[in-house]
Amino acid sequence: MFSPFRDADGTPKALAEVTWEDLSQLADLDEGFVLEFKRDYNPSVQRKIPKIVASFANSRGGWLVVGISDDEHAVCPIARPQADFGQILGELCRRHVSPAPPFDARFLPDPADDARGVLVVRVDEGDFPPYIADGVVEIREGSTSGPATGAALVELYGKATGRRREIAEFCHRTVFYPAEGADGRPLPLFDLYLYHLGRSAAAPSRDEVATHVAAMRGAFSRQGASCHVSHAHDSLILRTALPAGPRDVHSAIELFGDESMKLTVPAVLLNSEERARAVATMRKLGLFSPDEGHLIDARATLRRVSSMASLLDHYVRARHIAWQGYAVAYELENMAGIILWSDDPVYQAYIAEKGVLSCGTTDCRSRVRYLDDGDHDSFRARQFAGSHFFEACGLPLGSPDPQDSALVDALLR
């Protein structure tokens, strides 16, 4: 994306890298399709900001700089508000623009008076246009914003449809796993898909890939796990153990160049001795035929899902990426009829009264959730993966029933 700011080598600067001294570079630039200046932050400008932000999001993105005169491009510091400008503009756009446009804002304080400064807003090209400001679809027209009509509207709707199709195509497992587990039954898998919105179409450089790998190795190290990296045609596959061959069933993270990610976690199956003990217990309770049922270790599987998803949280934190820049979905494979099992007395007392916990739906993929919708500001991959996997398997998370709560506590210990 265009940046009006450059470093000493002429490389475009990201918003986080811009300094007060960089503002002098704006003297040589004119307002245009991707750049707009405002001298003051007064009520009139505040009313225009949602329209400007929406027009950039509907076009190719752009930069709004408040505290720069339109004519001479001189720095004219504005007063710093008590609240954070990012929060102020976020609330302003939530009230006036739908859907929420992708933008970031920084206030650069004046070194001579930190109560005043310049507001710099970077707006990304939106993934799901049109972005509608107070009932009007605004697009960039030269150095100003104006309403879109006819072909421009068709193009915007077509872009949103294409992006949703692209996300849907991304949301399927691409790491190979054998069709059957060690018990000869279909291998139960939980897949988590995290699509990075606003991603660059350019392939990452070797240095960028190395940076991604280093951050992922750091995430593994934080959890005391080793990190083994395999190369695929357009991704990296990361595991906690050396791959033993094509029938290896260890959990895997697939990391793409744009930092989209896929996580696949095989459920922990009971070994023959554990299964025999579980079948004997359930036979006494008259719960199911011992020849039926696919049993997984509830506590071990929860630990595996949570641990692997935590690696993704550590990674985005290390890379200074916000989860709000992602779309997320999950998928259950070969999970239909799976029975959760635990030797815990609380679990066994529970199933004696209420029956076994099992996945009561056919295999399915969830709807896509967009984490910038305002409902996922506290999103964590660990919590999302763990809760959705076990709710799908019948574990009553969040139930007000004390017996349900006691069961959840027992399995989470």
Residues 241 and 351 in one domain: yes
Helix ranges (DSSP H) in 38-197: 43-58, 85-96, 151-170
- State how far the Cα of 219 lies from the Cα of 245, in Å rounded to an integer: 24
Q: Which of 374 and 5 is assigned the larger pLDDT?
A: 5
Report the DSSP beta bridge partners of residue 36: 64
Three-state DSSP at 193 gives strand
Residues 134 and 59 in one domain: yes
Examine the pLDDT at 244 and tell me if it is beyond 80. Answer: no
Q: Using CA of residue 340, residue 346, residue 350, residue 352, what is the dihedral sign? A: positive
At 16-31, the pLDDT tens digits run 999 999 999 999 899 9
121 CB contacts (<8 Å, ≥6 apart)? 49, 53, 63, 64, 65, 66, 89, 103, 104, 105
- State how far the Cα of 92 lies from the Cα of 58, in Å rounded to an integer: 18
Q: Which of 305 and 361 is assigned the larger pLDDT?
A: 305
Residues 156 and 201 in one domain: no
Q: Where do the DSSP E strands lie in 204-358?
A: 228-231, 235-239, 252-256, 261-266, 294-297, 326-333, 338-341
Residues 270 and 291 in one domain: yes
Residue 367 has which token pair? 């709807």
Residues 54 and 153 in one domain: yes
Examine the pLDDT at 3 and tell me if it is beyond 80. Answer: yes
| Residue in the block written with tokens 């596959």 | 237
Residues 225 and 290 in one domain: yes
- pLDDT value at residue 291: 55
Q: Which of 62 and 361 is assigned the larger pLDDT?
A: 62
At 91-141, the pLDDT tens digits run 999 999 999 898 999 999 999 999 999 999 999 999 889 999 999 999 998
Q: Is residue 203 part of a domain?
A: yes
Provide the domain count of the chain: 2
Between strands 136-141 and 144-147, the pairing is antiparallel
173 — phi, psi (to 5°)? -70, 135
Domain of 110, CATH number, reads 3.30.950.30
Q: Is residue 246 part of a domain?
A: yes
Q: Is residue 3 part of a domain?
A: no
- pLDDT value at residue 201: 66
- State how far the Cα of 26 lies from the Cα of 37, in Å rounded to an integer: 10
Residues 41 and 150 in one domain: yes
Give the residue from 128, 149, 165 where a domain finishes: 165
Residues 159 and 179 in one domain: no
| Residue in the block written with tokens 């915007």 | 156
- pLDDT value at residue 246: 64
Give the residue from 104, 133, 165 where a domain finishes: 165
Residues 213 and 359 in one domain: yes
Residues 177 and 301 in one domain: yes
Q: Return the ∠ at Cα 25 (arms to 22 and 31), rounded to 5°.
A: 120
At 50-85, the pLDDT tens digits run 999 999 999 999 999 999 998 888 999 999 998 899
Question: Quick one: 230 exposed, middle or buried, by C-beta within 10 A (0-12, 13-18, 19+)?
Answer: middle
Q: The domain containing residue 175 runs over which residues?
A: 171-412
Q: Is residue 274 part of a domain?
A: yes
Residues 131 and 195 in one domain: no
Least confident of 58-62, 167-171, 282-286, 334-338: 282-286
Examine the pLDDT at 256 and tell me if it is beyond 60. Answer: yes
Q: Is residue 124 part of a domain?
A: yes
Q: Using CA of residue 36, residue 42, residue 45, residue 46, what is the dihedral sign? A: positive
- pLDDT value at residue 228: 94
- The mean per-residue pLDDT over the stretch 335-359 comes to 88
- State how far the Cα of 269 lies from the Cα of 239, in Å rounded to an integer: 19
Which of 262, 264, 241, 248 shows the shortest CA–CA distance to 334?
264
Question: Quick check: 339 and 357 in contact, CB under 8 A?
Answer: yes
Give the residue from 138, 165, 192 where a domain finishes: 165
- What is the 8-class DSSP label of residue 32? B
How many H helices and E strands in the chain? 9, 18
Q: Is residue 10 part of a domain?
A: no
Q: Is residue 8 part of a domain?
A: no
At 271-302, the pLDDT tens digits run 888 888 888 888 888 876 655 568 899 999 99
Q: Which helix (H) or strand (E) holds 104?
A: strand 103-110
Residues 186 and 303 in one domain: yes
At 187-231, the pLDDT tens digits run 999 999 999 997 766 788 899 999 999 999 999 999 999 999 999
- The mean per-residue pLDDT over the stretch 303-328 comes to 95
